[in-house]
Amino acid sequence: MKVNGECHCGNIAYEAAVDPATSSICNCTDCQQLSGSPFRASVAAKAEDFHITRGEPKLYVKTAQSGNKRAQGFCGDCGSPIFATTVENRTKYNLRLGTVRQRADLPPKRQIWCESAILWGQNVSDVPGIPRE
């Protein structure tokens, strides 16, 4: 599936081909902190299918509990998270669904790090909603 997206301020834009079957949610505490929400949603793109078309993301290298290092690409102006990838030998990018224009067409197919999940974040369907504010 072809997708495109951009950061909130529009300084970084990209296009990619993704496999909708790889759309997922991560509940780890690192993703909670880095996204500022109960979980982070992403979809995978092969390195050869991901192209930055405008701007240059800043990188923050996060070291996981396992010792693995992951490069977090984000907009240095508005702070929007764009992707995560390995530090070296990049073969795959996990695109952050919040910046993908077609995000409504990419429902998650799996969740990981469920032991860290914030329970109230798993089902908000009973929380009263307001169409706009």
The confidence score (pLDDT) of residue 126 equals 85
The confidence score (pLDDT) of residue 121 equals 85
Distance CA 95, CA 39 (A): 14
- pLDDT single digits (tens) 102-119: 999 999 999 999 999 998
- pLDDT single digits (tens) 15-55: 999 999 999 999 999 999 999 999 999 999 999 999 999 99
The confidence score (pLDDT) of residue 15 equals 98
Q: What is the mean pLDDT of residues 78-86?
A: 96
Exposed (0-12), middle (13-18) or buried (19+): which is 73, by Cβ within 10 Å?
Answer: buried
Task: Name the phi and psi angles at 7, rounded to 5.
Answer: -75, 175
Residue 62 has pLDDT above 90, yes or no: yes
What's the angle, vertex CA 28, arms to CA 25 and CA 30, rounded to 5? Answer: 115
Domains of the chain with CATH codes: 2-118 (2.170.150.70)
Distance CA 127, CA 110 (A): 23
The confidence score (pLDDT) of residue 85 equals 96
Q: Which residues of 85-112 are buried (b: 16+ CB within 10 A; e: fewer)?
A: beeeeeeebbbbbbbbeebeebeeeeee
Residue 65 has pLDDT above 80, yes or no: no
Please enumerate in sequence order all residues whose Cβ is within 8 A of that of 59, keeping only pairs 6 or more positions apart, or say none: 71, 72, 73
The confidence score (pLDDT) of residue 119 equals 87
Give the H or E element holding residue 41. Answer: strand 40-46
The confidence score (pLDDT) of residue 70 equals 93
